[in-house]
Amino acid sequence: MISLIISVYNCERFIETALQSVFSQTLPCDNYEIIVVNDGSTDNTMNILDQYQDRIKIINQPNQGLPISANRGILEAKGDYIMRLDADDYFDKEILSLTLGILESSQDYHCVYTDRYEVNFLENTRLEVTVGEDNVFDMLSCGVLFRTETFKRIGMYKNLLFEEYDLMIRFFDYGLRAFYLRQPLYYYVRNGLNMTNQVNYWKDGWKQLVCTWGEEKLKKYVEIQAKIKGVSRFQIA
């Protein structure tokens, strides 16, 4: 079984699309559970979730932020595998069946990640994003299928702005292997409300990461991103 974790905070405009993309999976529904952590929403999100309470597990908590709510969902998970979905994003209908098939057929890999589409909700456009091998700084925390035991080995998400980068650095630091599936199977929606649009998000996130890992450790992943993309978002002094 796969445990799908959706953390949601004031996402009434998008949560239904996210859920429908899960319900539409080619993988039979008895092979996955859906855990939605409502992180203190104050809009109409909870009323929407209530309409699907026979198909999803809903956990309510006071607002504590994305990493903590994601961890809450992971702790409640019963599946052998875990994948996250952001409440304003959505899946390709084959993401679960294709990624699960890879991990089921090979014990050599501990997660599977894919390419994605970045959808501009306001302009109604989309761009295909090629991530590349072990390119941590172009990965998302969502749309990655992990073995549940992986979280037991490397720990949960830390309460950082770049929680996904920190997790994947720990992942590779433990000598674990990621399978890169070269298909765009995740839809990341840019809607003007994303955390990445917050003032100083990238500056403050990078500062936290440097304090956690040091520039020497991060240099490797900056160089990987620069090699694949031609340039890195981050600079090492």
Averaged pLDDT for residues 47-71: 96
> pLDDT tens across 50-60, in order?
999 999 999 99
39: domain CATH number is 3.90.550.10
What residues make up the domain containing 32?
Answer: 2-229
Residues 6+ away with beta carbon under 8 Å from 11: 18, 41, 43, 45, 87, 88
> pLDDT tens across 165-213, in order?
999 999 999 999 999 999 999 999 986 665 555 668 899 999 999 999 9
Residue 203 belongs to some domain of the structure: yes
Output DSSP code: residue 1: -
Residue 13 belongs to some domain of the structure: yes
Q: For residue 156, with 0-12 CB atoms within 10 Å meaning exposed, 13-18 middle and 19 or more buried, which class applies?
A: middle
The pLDDT value recorded for residue 121 is 73
> pLDDT tens across 31-40, in order?
999 999 999 9
Half-sphere exposure of 184 (CA within 13 A, CB side): 11
Kindly state the tokens that stand for 63.
Answer: 């607002």
Averaged pLDDT for residues 40-51: 95
Q: How many domains does the chain have?
A: 1
Residue 82 belongs to some domain of the structure: yes
